[in-house]
């Protein structure tokens, strides 16, 4: 073996492994919100949902698991209604503050 690292030898990064507590989730969401990217927000909510359990989220939001997986994939931006249902069901709140100049 030549000592070179092959891509196939690397473990795929999965952020859900690091979303172990509320503080980690809050830091993750704050970092995502700072990017002002609605698709990234949807994907981050999907990450949190996968870390906590998509089936339970589906029950709490009244949305199907399939719909949640599609909507929170980051490939599209779900409706504000869906985003708010998911945020609430995950026990998260959004707060507004004045942006730094």
Mean pLDDT of 39-68: 95
Q: Where are the beta strands (DSSP E) in 16-68?
A: none
pLDDT of 10 higher than 80: no
DSSP letters of 72-84? TSSSS---HHHHH
For residue 94, give the DSSP letter: -
pLDDT of 75 higher than 90: yes
**Contact in structure between 76 and 44 (CB atoms under 8 Å):** no
Short-list 58, 48, 2, 54, CA closest to 25: 48
Quickly state the pLDDT bin for 38 (edges 50, 70, 90): very high
% the chain with pLDDT above 90: 77
pLDDT of 12 higher than 90: no
Q: What is d(CA 87, CA 61) in angstroms, rounded to the nearest whole number?
A: 10
Q: Tens digits of per-residue pLDDT, 16-25?
A: 999 999 999 9
């Amino acid at each position: 073996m030549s000592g070179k690292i092959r891509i196939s030898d690397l473990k795929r990064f999965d952020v859900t492994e690091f979303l172990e507590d509320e503080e980690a989730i809050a830091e993750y969401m704050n970092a995502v919100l700072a990017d002002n990217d609605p698709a990234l927000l949807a994907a981050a909510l999907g990450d949190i949902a996968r870390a906590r359990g998509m089936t339970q989220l589906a029950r709490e939001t009244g949305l199907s698991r399939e719909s949640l997986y599609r909507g929170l994939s980051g490939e599209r931006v779900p409706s504000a209604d869906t985003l708010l249902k998911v945020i609430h069901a995950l026990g998260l709140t959004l707060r507004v503050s004045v942006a730094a100049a």
